[in-house]
Structure 1
Amino acid sequence: MGHLKHRDLNATRERLRDQVAHALRAALISGELRPGQVYSAPGLAEDFGISATPVREAMLDLVREGLVEPVRNKGFRVTEVDERDLDQYTEIRALIEIPTVGRVTRTADRAQLEALRPVAEEIVRAARDHDLIGYLEADRQFHLSLLALSGNERLVETVGDLRKRSRLYGLTGLDEHGELLPSAEEHLELLDLMLTGDAQKAEQCMARHLGKVRSLWAKSDEAP
């Protein structure tokens, strides 16, 4: 697990658990930790170069998020997400995000929307540079920051949780085939539409974007 071995973790006690959890989520999203596989806290701790305790605590956080499940006397198994799960997650996200984008288009001021442009550009840059972790981090920041303009914190938390549960697998193969860059560029398209004040076209763009994300999941499952 090369990415884990090279992660620079600050040893500050109160932050270490959160940093490990963040690194593990990134490894889950990128596919470095594979669905159905069992990983032990001591084994992961060796990769990180730290003790097993913060790793075990971080894995328990992921259990509560539904990302892994405990396996008695062995460690933690990465939760497998099936097609039905992905369809349901996508449906819920569409029910929330599409109308919210329309509402934010009508209510947010130009400065608030323009503040999201550097993040949208970072998504494109990361996709172009084949930086998968950077891509996913910037994508998460863009979507949740955009939804935050609605003023509904619970809505943002709900979508954040859905994003964790519907993490992408096989991104390396998709990246190699040029599948990520077009999806990345849709963030700039969406932002430009919102800046024109056209709520209907912004909603249509978001619907298309979420549909493409779902198709990427399907292709990811098919990737060798």
Structure 2
Amino acid sequence: MSESVNVNPAIRSPSLNEQAYRAFRHRLITLRYKPGDYLNTAQVMEDLAMGRTPVNQAIHRLATEGLLQIIPRKGVMVAPLSIDDALELIEVRLVNETLCAQLASQKVDEAHIIALRELNQQIAAASEARDREKMMLLDREFHQVLAEIAGNRRLADILSVIHAQAQRFWAMTLSSVSHMDEVIAEHDEIIAALAAGDTQRAAEAARAHIYSFKRALLAT
């Protein structure tokens, strides 16, 4: 006799609020919505094909993450970008992403290594096709997997916000083919360090990855 399984729809697919948040955040990260621009809520609703409630929920969530600014009596503005913000973000990334790499090196297994290698191969293919948005989506997934391997939920939440903010700056550097090649090579080194279970090497690879981002940003 077969056993029926009751699948919770909320687990199977994200809520409308979550869908609106993800779609809105993607447009901010990829700079479709430009830093400093004021956004019309009705236009955003049309862009996302979403109702007012999920869009408003997304606005407030993204404001707490520093991607939007809610200006009294004026509306919603895309958070501006500045080099000072970028340098502060780099300092925060150095601490948190190094810790993530160290924790991941202690908990990684072969399935994780396979998943990371496959993702980096897809990033390389997107880079070769000059598909910037796909590369950014895959890079986000690569870092999400790293955070999951590290196994610290609070750290994963922090890294999700940090990475979303960093990707807005990163989007400005992706016209450089050499930088895209560097990113892929740096990912390979992180994977190799994890596969070797080498905590110090993993930390060094994470730091090198962030310093490469800094160099590329300052060169733009």
What band does the TM-score fall into relative to the shorter chain? 0.7 to 0.9
**Is structure 2 residue 109 aligned with structure 1 residue 140?**
no
Describe the superposition over 1:90-148 as per-residue Cα deviations: whole angstroms up to 9, x where unpaired: 22221122243234324433333233221222222222222222222221221222132
Counterpart Cα distance in 2 of 1:95 and 1:48: 35
Alignment deviations for residues 173-214 of structure 1 (CA, whole Å, 9 cap, x no partner): 643331323213321232123213333333222111111122
Task: Find the counterpart in structure 1 of residue 75 from structure 2.
Answer: 75
Deviations 1:13-54 (A, max 9, x none): x83332222122111111111111101101222334454443
Give the aligned CA root-mean-square deviation in angstroms.
2.4
The answer to whether the Cα contact below 8 Å between 1:69 and 1:77 also exists between their aligned partners in 2 is yes
- Secondary structure (helix, strand or coil) at the match of 2:121 reads helix
Mapped contact 1:34–1:78 kept (Cα < 8 A):
yes
- 2:24–2:48 CA contact under 8 A, matched in 1: no
Which deviates further from its counterpart, 59-68 or 45-54?
Answer: 45-54
Match of 2:217 in 1: 217
- Residue 86 (structure 1) aligns with: 86
What are the residue-to-residue correspondences of 1:116-155 with 2, within 5 Å? 116-155=116-155
Corresponding position of 1:104: 104
Q: Aligned pair 1:39/2:39, yes or no?
A: yes
Normalised to the residue count of structure 2, the TM-score between the two structures is: 0.80
Does the 8 Å contact 1:128/1:181 carry over to 2? Answer: no
Which residue number in structure 1 is paired with residue 16 of structure 2?
A: 16
- 2:39–2:75 contact (8 Å) kept in structure 1: yes
Q: Percent identity of the aligned residues?
A: 24
Rounded Cα–Cα distance in structure 1 between residues aligned with 2:106 and 2:60: 41
Equivalence for 1:177: 176
| Aligned residue-pair number | 206
> TM-score normalized by structure 1?
0.79
Q: Give how far 1:67 is off.
A: 1.0
Structure 1: unaligned runs, 5 residues or longer: 1-13
Q: Distance in 1 between matches of 2:29 and 2:124?
A: 18
